[in-house]
Amino acid sequence: MMAEPKNIRILSIDGGGIRAILPAMVLTYLENKTVKPLYKHFDIIAGSATGGLLAAGLATPRPGKKKPYAAKDLLSFFMDNGEDIFSKNLLLKIMNISKLAEAQYDPQKFENLLEDFFKDARLSDCVKGTELLITAYNLEAQQALLFKSWKAKGRYLDPKESVGEFDFMMRDVVRATTATPSYFPPVLVDPISDPKGRTYALVNGGIVANNPTQQAFSSALKIYPAGTTFDILSLGSASCADIIPYKESKSWGPAAWMRPLFHSMVGHASSTAHEQMAQLFKSYNLGTYDRIDIAIDPKITGIQGVKSALDDASEKNIESLQKLGAKMINEHAKTIDRWVSNLSGENES
């Protein structure tokens, strides 16, 4: 039996729609520099929304292989498939003219991509030595639902819990965490073998934790009780304080308020989670906590022309996001290089 690690490493990835290109670029840089696949460096990988897709890809064996996707493959997924992910069918286009559509995008193409990407992989298939945590929100129960690979494998179950109720198809897990209200419809997800036959109506995990660092750290305390120090790398997907102008907003109805409010709440919740984790680690000397992110100023269009929208998968914006990603890596070069050094040192030991 393997000895339980005492220094616990956690990778946390924010949601951000097509802006997942930014953390994917950081991950690709790290993986290129450290040589080893990233899952071998982290004990827990957590993600929300498109950050959840990245997390799942890093920790789930790819179809027909024993190893997960490389970070560069995940970067390519978003760069090559952005327009298919955010794809409207004709009916939705017509409905959106009057702002009456319940969801702006048809999920079918995205679901097809997820099925091809993950095939029949399950949450319990997460690679040995690395645990996965992905967030979602249960609409009917009005509470968070956290997909946890260790429970899917039958570890750390509470009394009266059964392993069957915690294992899900990975494609369903990712579809749930990315079901952003007003962009994609909610999704019904069934555990693979729940003895109670439950079905969950789920939406985007960003509603409860777009930055899932706190949830990952809390879980680490439980599943790694021998842990004495914790090193956390938290990746953002570009914070953006969208301006809500008074002159326009004073006449808005419910439909017009939907997205600005959602973006504002999710963005501020991510910032608050970061501030709390930074203060916690500083006050109690728990280990290393690093946050890599970059701000998009909505008043400035010159910063490589990046759009703050979660769904702008145009060729121009993807090119702009690549430039912003390079800028983010450059701005955090000292932190990233320190992680490269630490992870590379682990390779040599």
pLDDT tens-digit series, residues 188-219: 999 999 888 999 999 999 889 999 999 999 99
Residue partners of 238: CB distance under 8 A and separation at least 6:
16, 19, 22, 293, 294, 295, 296, 306, 308, 324, 328
Average pLDDT over every residue of 31-37: 94
Structure tokens that stand for 50 in this block: 């498109």
Q: Would you state the pLDDT for residue 247?
A: 83
Helices (H) and strands (E) in the chain, counts: 13, 10
pLDDT value at position 91? 47
3-state secondary structure of 292: strand
3-class DSSP assignment, residue 231: strand
Q: Is the pLDDT of residue 125 over 90?
A: yes
Cβ-contact 202, 186 below 8 angstroms: yes
Q: Which of the pair, 96 or 278, is modelled with greater confidence?
A: 278
| Partners of 291 in beta bridges | 234
Does 261 have pLDDT greater than 90? no
User: pLDDT band at 141, cuts 50/70/90?
Assistant: very high
Q: Kindly report the average pLDDT of the chain as a whole number.
A: 89
Is residue 112 within 8 A of residue 182, CB to CB? The reply is no
The residue-averaged pLDDT of 47-68 equals 97
> How confident is the model at residue 94, as a pLDDT?
47
- Strand-pair partners of 68: 61
Position 250 scores a pLDDT of 80
**Span 251-278, average pLDDT:** 81
Residue 301's identity, in one-letter code, is: T
Q: What is the reported pLDDT for 256? A: 73
**Residue 298: its pLDDT value, please?**
62
70 touches 300 (CB < 8 A): no
DSSP state of 2: P
pLDDT exceeds cutoff 90 at 96: no
Tell me the C-alpha distance between 146 and 149, whole Å.
Answer: 10
Residues 157-179: pLDDT tens digits?
Answer: 999 898 989 999 999 999 999 99
Q: Is the pLDDT reported for residue 89 higher than 80?
A: no
DSSP tag of 210: S
Give the chain's radius of gyration (CA, Å).
20
